[in-house]
Amino acid sequence: MADRPRLNAFVVHLTDPENEAEAVSNLREMAAKGGIAKIPLTLMENPDGPPAYRIAEDAEVTILIYRFFDVRAKQVFGPGELTEADIDRVLADLSKVLGE
């Protein structure tokens, strides 16, 4: 992202109020381990996420690439499925937003 100033990202951890403290702890640990300093890490107290995004129940990671509230690409990964090759595929989808 440092190479692309027009690009922004944020992380939303879907949780319920009963698990909020654990979710905050997990986000802090993720930030520390990953050296994340400039990407907002947030919580949404709804384990289903926004209805319009249709987050799969069995998804561990859902990546939405959008521009002006229009989802241009969506990648869904179950528990333990996200690989380096998948990350490369997600990054390739950025052209749908950046117009490259």
Q: How confident is the prediction for the chain on average, in pLDDT?
A: 87
Q: pTM (2 decimals)?
A: 0.78
Claim to verify: residue 1 and residue 43 sit in the same structural domain: yes
Claim to verify: residue 40 and residue 64 sit in the same structural domain: no
Report DSSP letters for the chain, one per residue: -TT-TT----EEEE--GGGHHHHHHHHHHHHHHHT--SS-EEEES-TT--GGG---TT-SEEEEEEETTEEEEEEEE-TT---HHHHHHHHHTTHHHHT-
Residue 15: inside a domain, yes or no? yes
Confidence of residue 100 (pLDDT cuts 50, 70, 90): low
Residue 9: inside a domain, yes or no? yes
Q: Of the residues 24, 47, 70, which one is the last residue of a structural domain?
A: 47
Confidence at residue 50, expressed as pLDDT on a 0 to 100 scale: 85
Domain extent, residue 69, equals: 57-100
Structurally, the chain folds into a number of domains equal to 2
Task: Compute and round to an integer the Cα radius of gyration of the chain.
Answer: 14
Residue 52: inside a domain, yes or no? no
Residue 7 near residue 37, CB atoms below 8 Å: no
- Inform me whether the pLDDT recorded for 32 exceeds 90: yes
